[in-house]
Structure 1
């Protein structure tokens, strides 16, 4: 049987990380993999998470399975974090998942189960794994315009024109905040127009929110998600705890299904539990337990929010420093968008040839579409990147 297997293309981001590790240059800079790093290049364990782990070590008495859908305290805490008081809890079905990726996969499974003919509209560009999973599952993808390379912002008119082709039962995949890979976000007026169009077409919004707290703050970053969930008949939300809690390897995520019709919540909850059983039975608990402990303890939550705000503001300072350094070197404001974008990522607008020159001549690694991880920089490496960008003609 195995002789029928075919080689699969290497994941470009992981391949880039491998090339970086093999580069002997001491002054190399990694702006590729989307993991938060301190100025020292370390992905830290957050203070509140470490404190929760100490507490858990003392009080945990069993490693038995939790509920099929995950620990109820985790589900309640995460629904509260993402949706606040925008909806009643009995309007939201939820399951714990192995990371945000697991939540995305379960959402696609639910969509395929309910409507095998549904098309999923995906922003151009998007997180590459969205497209990889959809292709693997055989779900039809329709790209909609999102990023305007000329303005280095959202091509909203193009986006709306493409979404006008929606049919009833189609799904639109949206980034809740801190768009990956561009860093360019919709404003609230644009979100409202998208919701009106989805409702008019009878399409389902699916929101992937992986960076809540990394953009404009925890509440501001959730505003669009809450607006959609309140104003659409049904909404799917995939959320990740990897970034804002720094627990990447614990694989902690949640999938929420929101229904305005409360009568549908019980059926939706049962189907989500069914999907968990088919794919991995009981979800992992360690990271979820830490998240629920942090979110339900006043002192831990306050410390977590303070550290998360330090992370957010640190990335904003790096954005402003890079935009300012490029303004100084280029004599123009054409890089001002870097300070305006939000989250870990921005797309610089470089050609693949320029990206390759940055790697070969300057030891600066980034994705081929010129997406950079802002958190891969520090105050010392920002001027290095700026000079290299000018040198290769960006």
Structure 2
């Protein structure tokens, strides 16, 4: 049997991480891996997570299974965090998943089960794993224009033109905030226009929200998701706690199926439980338990929000400092988009050849499409990166 297997293509980001580890240069800079790092290059455990873990260690009396959809209290807490009061709770089915990736995978499985002929329209570019999973589960993928390589902002006119070609029943995959990999996001007016178009053409929105709190704030980053959930008949929402709670390895995610028709909630909830059972049965609970404890405890929640705000403001500061240094070196404001982007990532919009040149000449490691992890910088490395960008002729 095994002799029929073929080598699979290496993951570009994992390969880049390996190259970085093997590079002997002391001044190398890792801007590739999609993980938050502080100024010391560490991914810390958040204070509230530490406190919740200590409390859980003292109080937890069993490690038995939770339900197929996870602890309902976790779903309730996350729905409140993401959707607020945009949709009544009894319109929403929810299931815990192994990370945001698990939520994305289960959403695609639900789409295929509900409408096998549906196409999924994804932004150009999008998180590469979106396309990889869609191809693996056998769903046809169509790209829509999104990133303007001249302005490094959203090509909204192109996006609308392309989505007008989507067929009724197709799914449109949107990033809730902090677009990965570009960092360029829709504004409120654009969200409203997208909602109107989807409703006009009978399209189903799916939102991947993995960075709530990393952009403009917890409430501000949820604006687009809430508008879509309140304004469309049906929506799928895949959420991740990896970044904003810093619990990457705990694999903590949630999939929501929102329907304005309350009568669909029971079937949707049963479908989510069924999909979990077919894939991994009971979802992991440790990370979800910590998130639930933090969101339902006033003191823990306040400390978490304060630390998350420190992280957000720190990344905004790095963006501004890098844009300012590039303006100083270049004598132009053509890199001002870096200060306007939000989240961990920005897309420089340059060629793979120049990305490779920066790696060879300066030890600058970023994904070949020129995606940079802003959180990989600090005050000492910003001037180094800025000079490398200018020297490479970006």
The alignment's TM-score, normalised by the length of structure 1, stands at: 1.00
**Deviation string for 1:191-232 (max 9, x for gaps)?**
111101100111100000000000000000001100000000
Distance 1:271 1:388 in 2: 51
Distance 1:309 1:110 in 2: 34
Query: What corresponds to 2:246 in structure 1?
Result: 246
Q: Does 2:65 align with 1:43?
A: no
Query: What corresponds to 1:150 in structure 2?
Result: 150
Query: What corresponds to 1:264 in structure 2?
Result: 264
Q: Give the match's secondary structure for 1:153.
A: coil
Instruction: Give the Å deviation of 1:368.
Output: 0.2
Distance 2:353 2:283 in 1: 43
**Deviation string for 1:167-197 (max 9, x for gaps)?**
1110000000000000000111111111011
Query: What corresponds to 2:13 in structure 1?
Result: 13
Moved over 4 A (4+): none
Q: Give the match's secondary structure for 1:154.
A: coil
Distance 1:353 1:269 in 2: 48
Q: Does 2:327 align with 1:327?
A: yes
Query: What corresponds to 1:376 in structure 2?
Result: 376
Query: What corresponds to 2:362 in structure 1?
Result: 362
Q: Superposition pairs for residues 85-100 of structure 1, below 5 Å?
A: 85-100=85-100
The alignment's TM-score, normalised by the length of structure 2, stands at: 1.00
Query: What corresponds to 2:352 in structure 1?
Result: 352
Distance 2:269 2:28 in 1: 48
**Deviation string for 1:116-153 (max 9, x for gaps)?**
00000000000000000001111000100000101111
Query: What corresponds to 1:289 in structure 2?
Result: 289
Query: What corresponds to 1:298 in structure 2?
Result: 298
Query: What corresponds to 1:55 in structure 2?
Result: 55
Query: What corresponds to 2:24 in structure 1?
Result: 24
Distance 1:276 1:219 in 2: 29
**Deviation string for 1:238-279 (max 9, x for gaps)?**
000000000000000000000101011111001111000000
Q: Superposition pairs for residues 118-129 of structure 1, below 5 Å?
A: 118-129=118-129
Distance 1:373 1:227 in 2: 28
Distance 1:20 1:147 in 2: 28
Distance 1:303 1:357 in 2: 43
Instruction: Give the Å deviation of 1:348.
Output: 0.8
Distance 1:67 1:42 in 2: 34
Q: Does 2:148 align with 1:131?
A: no
Q: How many residues align?
A: 394
Q: Give the match's secondary structure for 1:211.
A: coil
Distance 1:106 1:7 in 2: 26
Q: Give the match's secondary structure for 2:235.
A: strand
Q: Superposition pairs for residues 308-319 of structure 1, below 5 Å?
A: 308-319=308-319
Structure 2: give runs of 5+ residues left out of the alignment.
Answer: none
Q: Give the match's secondary structure for 1:257.
A: strand
Distance 1:79 1:101 in 2: 18
Query: What corresponds to 2:68 in structure 1?
Result: 68
Instruction: Give the Å deviation of 1:73.
Output: 1.0
